[in-house]
Amino acid sequence: MTVNQCVLQKQLKNQGITVHVANHGGEALDKLRESQYWCKNGPDAVDLGVLLMDQEMPVMDGLQCTRRIREWEEGGLLRKHVPIIAVTASARSEQMAALLAAGMVSFSSEFYWKLATNYLLGRRCV
């Protein structure tokens, strides 16, 4: 687990949020297949609310993973839309455009921690 994953996990757990960590896009897809989002799973499957996705990961990056999730949605493999928040400190316009094009909701680097946490808690963000 990376330092950023540990920090974010601790912040979210301190807010009372259950956290499931995937170290790369392939693991994220595996967790999604085990969740209530997956069309063949029952109510006892893991209830994932939102995915926080880094753009740069080994094995499968966040863009590839997000595109695959959106393909699954279009193909009817998922019960409903999966909200995916880009968690990245990079805020270059071309990176933000790539994140949005892949299907993520992105935030600027200076506010991403606060906004991601507030989104998870159902709070409005300004």
**Region of poorest pLDDT, from 25-34, 70-79, 106-115:** 106-115
CA distance 55 to 66: 9
- Residue 76 dihedral angles phi and psi, to the nearest 5°: 80, 15
Backbone angle region of 76, left / alpha / beta, with phi > 0 → left and psi within -120 to 50 → alpha: left
Q: Predicted confidence band at 124 (pLDDT cuts at 50, 70, 90)?
A: very low
Q: What is the pLDDT of residues 94-116, one digit of tens each?
A: 777 777 777 777 654 544 556 55
Q: Which domains does the chain have, with CATH numbers?
A: 3-120 (3.40.50.2300)
pTM for this model (two decimals): 0.77
